[in-house]
């Protein structure tokens, strides 16, 4: 089975989102990855519920919403209306277990994200509450960063734990995915690759096909 492609819209042209999303679907994207940033948990601000509502209206692709926000439990209900996967950061504050339970209770699949500074073993006890785990291979907050090789060991450790315990969890990686790093991430156990800048170019269709072939 090939890996799934979740395309980050951070690299898109926001004035032509509808056209970009249609092109991504045609190219075989499995999901749209939406990075919500608040300028507090990460040093950048992106978009929020109104933009996501518009995206949902114009696309039937699953929405993989990644909350890079402080104390995300305050906004779970707002985003759950539109999310297929709703992700929070382990490091963002609040009762992580209860927030993951709430996400599932609202009918979404739960995703737990870890930053490069967090070791996989710190979240092993939370895996039964997860439908997906996202390993950041860059520091969250900005697109276009270089892939951190340390993410490969994290992916391998999580994949081993998931297999050993028999969990049904997708393993996702986000940051610096391109023709060189995508095969490494897939070999390390990633089921879903998040690609942003790599996708939004004249070679979108070819790059999508490359990732889907892994």
**Which positions are annotated as active-site residues?**
35, 174
Cβ atoms < 10 Å from Cβ of 61: 19
- Contact assessment for residue 166 and residue 190, using Cβ atoms and an 8 Å cutoff: no
Q: Both tokens of residue 157?
A: 């450790």
DSSP per-residue letters across the chain: -PPEEEEEGGGS-GGGHHHHHHHHHHHT--EEEEEEEBSSSSS-B---HHHHHHHHHH--SPEEEEEE-SSGGGGHHHHHTT-SEEEEETTS-S-HHHHHHHHHHTTPEEEEEE-TTS-GGGGGGGGGG-SEEEEESS-TT-SSPPPPTHHHHHHHHHHHHHHHHT---EEEEESS-STTHHHHHHHTT-SEEEESTTTSSTTHHHHHHHHHT-
């Amino acid at each position: 089975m090939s890996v799934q492609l979740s395309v980050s819209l951070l690299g898109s042209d926001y004035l032509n989102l509808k056209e970009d999303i249609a092109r991504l679907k045609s190219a075989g994207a499995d999901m749209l990855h939406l990075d919500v940033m608040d300028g507090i948990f990460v040093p950048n601000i992106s978009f929020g519920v109104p933009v996501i509502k518009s995206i949902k209206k114009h696309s039937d692709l699953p929405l993989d919403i990644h909350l890079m926000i402080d104390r995300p439990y305050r906004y779970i209900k707002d985003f759950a209306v539109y999310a297929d996967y709703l992700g929070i950061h382990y490091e963002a504050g609040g009762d992580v277990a209860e927030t993951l339970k709430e996400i599932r209770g609202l009918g979404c699949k739960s995703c737990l994200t870890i930053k490069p500074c967090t070791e996989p073993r710190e979240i092993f006890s939370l895996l039964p509450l997860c439908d997906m785990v996202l390993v950041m291979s860059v520091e969250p907050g900005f697109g276009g960063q270089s892939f951190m090789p340390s993410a490969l060991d994290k992916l391998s450790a999580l994949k081993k734990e998931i297999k050993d315990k028999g969990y049904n969890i997708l393993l996702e990686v986000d940051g610096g995915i391109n023709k060189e790093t995508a095969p490494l991430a897939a070999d390390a156990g990633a089921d879903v690759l998040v690609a942003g800048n790599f996708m939004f170019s004249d070679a979108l269709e070819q790059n999508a096909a490359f990732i889907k072939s892994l």
